[in-house]
Amino acid sequence: MHKRRPNWPVLLLILLVFTATARAQSTEPELLDGLRQRGLFELARVHCQSQLKLSQPPRQQVEWTVEWMRTLAAEAQQAGAAEQEQLWKSAADIAADFIAQQPRNPRSLLVAVHAALLQLSRGQLQRLEAEIASDSGAATELARQQLRLAIRQLQQLDGEMLQLIRQAPQQSQGDEFSSGELLSLQNNLRFQLGRAYRQQALSYPDDSQDRIAALGRATEQLEKPLTQLAEDDPLTAQVLLELAAVARLRKQSAQAALLLERLEKIQPAVRLVLAARAEKIQLALANGETASAIELLQLPRRLSGEISPNLDMALLDTYLTLARDADSRWIAAAWTNWKNNRSSW
């Protein structure tokens, strides 16, 4: 089938109107987030590419390259199977080309970090898709391979950070990273590596040695940033939430509950408040406390105009649990009835 070529004049006109309106009330990242959320990926790509054609300083070149990569990744997550591969490849190629063409750009490290995060996003998506694939075994193995690739890239970057931090000045000089900025980046890397290990764990069967080992590695990585982060650092809340999920999967319910209590005291951003409530529901389900899960689901689904996909997933898992419980009760009742009346068979 012939692929329709984009109408560039129309696209550019729409982009100009949208940009003029959005810039009056938002920053560039918010503008691009708005385009991506509306599925206007082509407009977002055009905007990034047009900015990169201008004579931009190194910092802005990196920022626009990263936004271009993020746009392709967001589109890949919504695209059909036939288009996904090319979109992921394009995002990876953009990162590789930038690093090769601008080896002296002091901020190119951020492009490498986001390239690794795209690999993680792809692995997470493949793991979720494998759960409903017709050939689940083969699809799961592909997801594991992708997650291993992401983990290797994140590990390599984490290893490079130690030397970079030692060499960096305390105060930023031009576009160079300061030691404090690199330390913050390292904490984020370790958080993402912990996430990657949890995703890897979820690709293995419950109670398998591979799953147990991956969860142990996730805990180890996630605990590292907490030794350096202030309690009011925005990353602290994200780490605590991820650690709580890992503790639940390790069947450490008391530890998971303590982590969620600590998270509540921080008063995190709205999206994390909703995600934490979703994790509480998952913990209640894991503990067999279905009534507590239902009670939490009675709370408002939307806060300050925001909703959470984690909360929607928790709702679905609660329905599935109720359905399984109903089936189990019916089977138990039927079995009891058969035993009581088998003499009449």
DSSP per-residue letters across 253-303: HHHHHHHHHHHHHH---HHHHHHHHHHHHHHHHHTT-HHHHHHHHTS-S-B
CB-count burial class (<10 Å; 0-12, 13-18, 19+) for 44: buried
Mean pLDDT score, 177-201 = 96
> Where do the DSSP E strands lie in 154-243?
none
- Exposed e or buried b per residue across 187-224, where buried means at least 16 C-beta atoms within 10 angstroms of its C-beta: bbbbbbbbbbbbbbbbbbeeeeeebeebbebbbebbeb
For range 182-187, the mean pLDDT? 96
Query: Taken in order 30, 36, 38, 42, is the CA torsion positive or negative?
Result: positive
At residue 184 the predicted structure's pLDDT band, cuts being 50, 70 and 90, is very high
Domain boundaries, the chain: 7-78+88-130+142-166
Q: Are 73 and 83 in contact (CB under 8 A)?
A: no
Burial of 280 by CB count in 10 Å (0-12 exposed, 13-18 middle, 19+ buried)?
A: buried
Q: How far apart are CA 37 and CA 20, in angstroms?
A: 18
Specify the pLDDT at position 4. 46
Predicted pLDDT at 18? 45
Q: Report how far residue 200's alpha carbon sits from residue 221's, in angstroms, rounded to the nearest whole number.
A: 14
> Mean of the pLDDT values across residues 100-125?
94
User: Which pLDDT does position 324 carry in this prediction?
Assistant: 83
Say whether 173 sits in a helix, a strand or coil.
coil
In this predicted structure, the answer to whether residue 304 has a pLDDT above a threshold of 60 is yes
| DSSP string for 34-64 | HHHHTT-HHHHHHHHHHHHTS---HHHHHHH
Whether 16 has a pLDDT exceeding 50, the answer reads no
Percent above pLDDT 70 for the chain: 87
- pLDDT the model gives residue 144: 97
Task: Report yes or no: 323 and 315 within 8 Å, Cβ to Cβ.
Answer: no
pLDDT band at 179 (very low <50, low <70, confident <90, very high): very high
- What are the structure tokens assigned to 168, written together? 């960096």
Count of all residues that appear for the chain in the document: 345
Spatial contact of 95 and 107, defined as CB atoms under 8 Å apart:
no
Q: What pLDDT is stored for residue 335 in this prediction?
A: 52
Question: Can you give the pLDDT at residue 333?
Answer: 58
pLDDT at position 5 over 60: no
The tokens of 155 are what?
Answer: 């590990």
Task: Please state the rounded mean pLDDT for residues 98-116.
Answer: 94
Confidence at residue 172, expressed as pLDDT on a 0 to 100 scale = 79
| Tens of pLDDT, residues 47-84 | 999 999 987 888 899 999 999 999 999 999 999 888 99
Question: Under CATH, what is the fold of the domain 7-78+88-130+142-166?
Answer: 1.25.40
Q: Which tens digit of pLDDT belongs to each residue from 139-171?
A: 999 999 999 999 999 999 999 998 999 998 888
